[in-house]
């Protein structure tokens, strides 16, 4: 194992256990890990965004090899042709950066407006097509052809199709607030709530499942780092954190009571 990998494992083990130490109580180890996370992730995402987008796709288009702006000494060869239109996102982008100063805070609005515009134009169609039309189409299911069994737990059946249609309609009706939900309409939307509740229950089950999977992943890494290859990084760091936290709570008993 190389020195950089062993050092990395010790750092990773410290940061991982530092965050887990929050389960005992809020403490400096957790705070350190949390703030390292904030700082590193901001710079990390900035670096990736710059090198994968601004550098090739903006600079590459404004300052291509042998382009009209080559006299500036800036040349970035990404096989792009010079495109003057790309001054527009550059200006909007720079305005965004300037907006960090309080008196120019309005400058970010142009860039935000542009992203809102594109998102709205894309989403209006995307959601209509994929979430509404396709889903409505799929809700018109086979009930009467006679080719399906009446009930089947694991596959298509008339009963399942009825439940699907009634469930979708009643749950959708529950979101319809222009009419008071009383009488027969109220009973129908009540049925809709039951379907939504089953759906939320399933979501809860899946959420638990997901979180546990992530914990499995973390523990797997910690187990890896506790091997001799990494000089027992996990165990060393664990011992250090436990002893330090123990000493701290021994020295500040009043905090323990809190």
Partner 1 sequence: MKFLEDIILKLGAVDRRVIFVLIGLAVLIPLLTPISLPVRETPTTVKFYDGIEDIPKNSKVLVSFDYGPSTRPEIHPMNVGVLRHMLRNGHQIYISCLWPDGIYMALDALEEITDEVNPDNESTFDIKEYEDYILLGYRPGAEAVIKGLASDLRKVYTVDANGNFIDDIEMMDGIKNLNDFAYIYSGSAGYPGTFEWVKYGGDPTGVPMSSGTTSVQVNEVIPYVQTGQLIGLLAGMPGAAEYEKLINVPGIAIQGMAAQSFAHIVIVLFIVFGNLAFFIKQRRDRKY
Partner 2 sequence: MLLKRYIPIAIVAFFGALTLSAWFIDNETIETFANDDATQFFDIIAAFAVFLGALNLLKLQFIKVLKQQSGWIYSAIAIASFFFAFIIGFFIRGAYFVGEDVYFSQKAAEAAILGSGSSEVVVPVDWGAHVQTDGSLFQWMFKYIFSPLSATMFALLAFFVASASFRAFRARNFEASLLLVAGIIIMLGRVPIGSLISSWTIMYILAFSIGIGINSYVKNRNVMFGWILGSCGAITGFGMTMGWPIDQPAIFFLPALQEWIYLVPNLAGSRAILIGIGLGIVATSLRYIFGLEKSYLGE
Q: Which residues bind partner 1 (CB under 8 A)?
A: 23-24, 44-45, 48-49, 52-53, 56-57, 60, 78-80, 118-119, 122-123, 126-127, 129-131, 134-135, 137-138, 154, 199, 202-203, 206-210, 212-220, 223
Q: Is 1 in the site for partner 2 (CB under 8 A)?
A: no
Q: Is 48 in the site for partner 2 (CB under 8 A)?
A: yes
Question: 178 to 207, contacts with partner 2 by CB under 8 A?
Answer: 192-202, 204-207
Torsion of CA 155, 160, 164, 167, to 10 degrees: -140
Q: Is 245 in the site for partner 2 (CB under 8 A)?
A: no
Output the furthest CA–CA distance in the chain (Å, rounded): 78
Minimum CB–partner distance for residue 244 and partner 1 (Å): 18
The listed partner (partner 1, partner 2, none) that binds 137, CB under 5 to 8 Å by sort, is: partner 1
- Residue in 108, 67, 70, 66 with CA at minimum distance from that of residue 91: 108
Minimum CB–partner distance for residue 122 and partner 1 (Å): 5
Are 27 and 20 in contact by the 8 Å Cβ rule? The answer is no
The listed partner (partner 1, partner 2, none) that binds 196, CB under 5 to 8 Å by sort, is: partner 2
Nearest 5°: phi and psi at 145? -70, -20
Question: 86 to 105, contacts with partner 2 by CB under 8 A?
Answer: 86, 88-90, 92-94, 96-97, 99-100
The correct pick among 75, 186, 188, 221 for binding partner 2 (CB under 8 A) is: 221
Identify the burial level of 130 via C-beta atoms within 10 angstroms of its C-beta, where 0-12 means exposed, 13-18 middle and 19 or more buried.
Answer: exposed
For partner 2, the closer of residues 209 and 228 by Cβ is 209
User: Residue 51 and residue 46: Cα distance in Å, rounded?
Assistant: 9
The correct pick among 24, 25, 51, 179 for binding partner 2 (CB under 8 A) is: 51
The listed partner (partner 1, partner 2, none) that binds 185, CB under 5 to 8 Å by sort, is: none
Alpha helices by DSSP H, listed for the chain, are 3-20, 28-49, 60-62, 87-98, 108-126, 134-139, 158-174, 183-225, 233-251, 253-257
The SS3 of residue 148 is coil
Q: Is 208 in the site for partner 2 (CB under 8 A)?
A: yes
Region from 65-73, 128-136, 179-187, 244-252 binding partner 2, contact rule CB under 8 A: 128-136
For partner 2, the closer of residues 114 and 248 by Cβ is 114
The SS3 of residue 232 is coil
Are 195 and 174 in contact by the 8 Å Cβ rule? The answer is no
């Amino acid at each position: 194992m190389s020195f950089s990998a062993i050092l990395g494992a010790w750092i990773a083990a410290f940061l991982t256990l530092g965050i887990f130490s929050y389960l005992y109580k809020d403490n400096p180890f957790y705070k350190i890990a949390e703030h390292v996370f904030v700082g590193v992730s901001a710079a990390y995402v900035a670096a990736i965004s710059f090198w994968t987008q601004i550098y090739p796709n903006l600079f590459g288009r404004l300052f291509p090899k042998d382009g009209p702006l080559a006299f500036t000494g800036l040349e970035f060869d990404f096989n792009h042709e010079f495109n003057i239109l790309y001054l527009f996102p550059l200006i909007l982008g720079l305005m965004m950066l300037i907006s960090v100063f309080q008196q120019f805070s309005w400058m970010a609005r142009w860039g935000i407006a542009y992203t809102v515009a594109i998102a709205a134009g894309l989403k209006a169609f995307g959601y209509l097509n994929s979430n509404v039309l396709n889903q409505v189409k799929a809700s018109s299911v086979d009930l009467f052809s006679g080719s399906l069994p009446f009930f089947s737990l694991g596959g298509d059946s008339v009963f399942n199709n009825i439940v699907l249609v009634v469930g979708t309609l009643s749950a959708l009706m529950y979101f319809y607030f222009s009419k008071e939900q009383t009488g027969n309409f109220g009973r129908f939307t009540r049925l809709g709530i039951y379907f939504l509740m089953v759906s939320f229950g399933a979501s809860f089950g899946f959420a638990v499942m997901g979180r546990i999977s992530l914990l499995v992943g973390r523990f797997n890494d910690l187990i890896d780092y506790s091997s001799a290859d990494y000089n027992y990084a996990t165990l060393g760091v664990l011992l250090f954190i436990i002893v330090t936290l123990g000493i701290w709570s021994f020295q500040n008993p009043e905090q323990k009571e809190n």
